[in-house]
Amino acid sequence: MKKVILASGAALMLTMGAAQAQEKTLTISVYAFAQDEFKQLVYDPFEKICGCKLVVETGNSVERLAKLEANKANPMVDMAVVSMADALAASRAGLIDKVDTAKLSNFNKIYDVAKDPNGDGMSVGYTFYATSIAYRSDKMKIESWADLLKPEYASHIAWPNVTTNQGPPALYMLGLALGKDTPDLAAPIEAVGEKKGEIVTFYEKSSQLVQLMQQEEIWAAPIGRFSWAPFTKLDMPIAWANPKEGQTGGMNVMVVTKGSKNRELALQFMDFWLSTDTQTKLAEKLIDSPANKEVKLSDAIANNLTYGEETAKSLKLIPSAVALDNRAGWVKTWNEKVGQ
């Protein structure tokens, strides 16, 4: 028995020693998406440079924001990547600090639209994406967002649920097409509600759409450009629509948590992620479209991403404040008109 106690005591001391040697730890909170690639292209190389340990927390934005809020007094996470609207929500809730952009050597290399997306200095854009319609070009012609609801098409489309990131932007564009683009999205939600029986499904995960498209269950769906690549591999004529109202989309941003004890390290990590080298590698693997204007991509790669400052500028994004102030109302209207 004594031997066992001695051995476990020794083991405990060894682990403690190891923990002390690894003094610097940076905790980041990111989307649970392409983590194998992120580890290989971003996390591992950064750990080598900083000589620190990176702890990665993943989850969807709601879960991760709830966690930030719960640990507000004693923040566990040092930096997080979230959507523009969630960054504003975090800022209003007093969870994040201003980003000290003077410490980001790559800051001047990123597109102007990404430098301070919410205009409050609390976030820096690192990637953005277009949202448009993926459709079977042999079955239909899409010239406007409203075309999706045409009687001959409506029973062959999937529409993003209002609770997804693609839901509100798609409704916003439908509102523009209908000529009724109020912030409450009442008209487009009503229009979708009228067709709810015909629309195949209100999707929550875009990964599901590839199978539905392959099985000819659907011919079209509004999607984010980041989920476009698998569609191009299907043996079907699938096109990316360029509707006359334009394309919408979203931008993901980096934020630093208020009260983080590793601020310098967090900024060093953000700078590394924004560097031309890292952004190029992530783009080449079709993971994130670059926000760094020095990134040069081949046409083949660029075609699968949202590439270039002109494209970025042309996206019709819902302003964060509008999204935040109306989100609850959108879900309520949606549940009344579409949910039942």
Partner 1 sequence: MFQNRAEALALALPAAFFAAAVFLMPVAILLSDGFRNPVGGWTISAYTDFFADPLNRTVFLRTLRLGAIVTVVSAVLGYAAAFAIVNLEPGTKGKMTGLVVLPLMISPVARTYAWIVILGRTGIVNQALQLVGLTDAPLRILFSETAVFVGLLQLFLPLMIISLISALENMPKDAVPAARVLGANWFQVFWKVILPLTKEGLVIGGTLVFTGSLTAYITPAILGGSKVLMLETLLYQQVSVSNNFVSASVIAFILIVMSFAANILLKRVATARNKQRVPQ
CA angle 311/201/33 to nearest 5° reads 50
Nearer to partner 1, 86 or 245 (CB): 86
Nearer to partner 1, 171 or 287 (CB): 171
Nearer to partner 1, 20 or 340 (CB): 340
If one asks whether residue 232 binds partner 1 (CB under 8 A), the answer comes out as no
Which residues in 151-180 contact partner 1 (CB under 8 A)? 155, 161, 163
Query: How far apart are CB 286 and partner 1 at their closest, in Å?
Result: 25
φ, ψ for residue 158, nearest 5 deg = -115, 140
Write out the DSSP string of 194-249: HTTTTSSEEES-THHHHHHHHTTS-SEEEEEGGG-HHHHTSSS-EEE---TT--EE
Which residues in 197-226 contact partner 1 (CB under 8 A)? 200-204, 208, 211-212, 215-217
Which residues fall within 8 angstroms of residue 191, CB to CB, at 6 or more apart?
A: 146, 149, 174, 178
Query: How far apart are CB 328 and partner 1 at their closest, in Å?
Result: 9
Query: How far apart are CB 162 and partner 1 at their closest, in Å?
Result: 9
Of positions 76, 229, 297, 331, contacts partner 1 by CB under 8 A: 331
Of positions 13, 53, 63, 108, contacts partner 1 by CB under 8 A: 63
Amino acid present at 200: V
Nearer to partner 1, 101 or 201 (CB): 201
Query: How far apart are CB 64 and partner 1 at their closest, in Å?
Result: 11
Buried b (16+ CB within 10 A) or exposed e, 102-124: eebebbebbbebbbbbbeeebbb
Token readout for 194 is 């009228």
What residues form DSSP beta bridges with 29? 57, 80
User: What H or E segment, with its residue span, contains residue 255?
Assistant: strand 248-257
**From 8-16, 194-202, 259-267, 269-277, span contacting partner 1 (CB under 8 A):** 194-202
**From 30-38, 135-143, 176-184, 196-204, span contacting partner 1 (CB under 8 A):** 196-204
- The whole-angstrom separation of Cα 237 and Cα 231 is 9
202 and 158 Cβ atoms separated by less than 8 Å: yes
Of positions 12, 32, 62, 234, contacts partner 1 by CB under 8 A: 62
Of positions 35, 108, 303, 335, contacts partner 1 by CB under 8 A: 335
CA dihedral 226, 232, 233, 234 (to 10 degrees): 120
What residues form DSSP beta bridges with 253? 82, 125
* Helix/strand/coil for 129: strand
Which residues in 41-60 contact partner 1 (CB under 8 A)? 60
φ, ψ for residue 24, nearest 5 deg = -90, 125
Of positions 28, 30, 65, 266, contacts partner 1 by CB under 8 A: 65
What is the distance in angstroms between the CA of the first residue and the CA of the last residue of the chain?
A: 65
Query: How far apart are CB 161 and partner 1 at their closest, in Å?
Result: 5
Nearer to partner 1, 25 or 326 (CB): 326
Query: How far apart are CB 196 and partner 1 at their closest, in Å?
Result: 8
SS (H, E, C) 73-108: CCCCCCEEEEEHHHHHHHHHCCCEECCCHHHCCCHH
Query: How far apart are CB 336 and partner 1 at their closest, in Å?
Result: 8
Give the count of residues interacting with partner 1 (CB under 8 A).
25
Of positions 10, 13, 14, 66, contacts partner 1 by CB under 8 A: 66
Residues of this chain that interact with partner 1 (CB under 8 A) are 60, 62-63, 65-66, 155, 161, 163, 196, 200-204, 208, 211-212, 215-217, 331, 335-336, 339-340
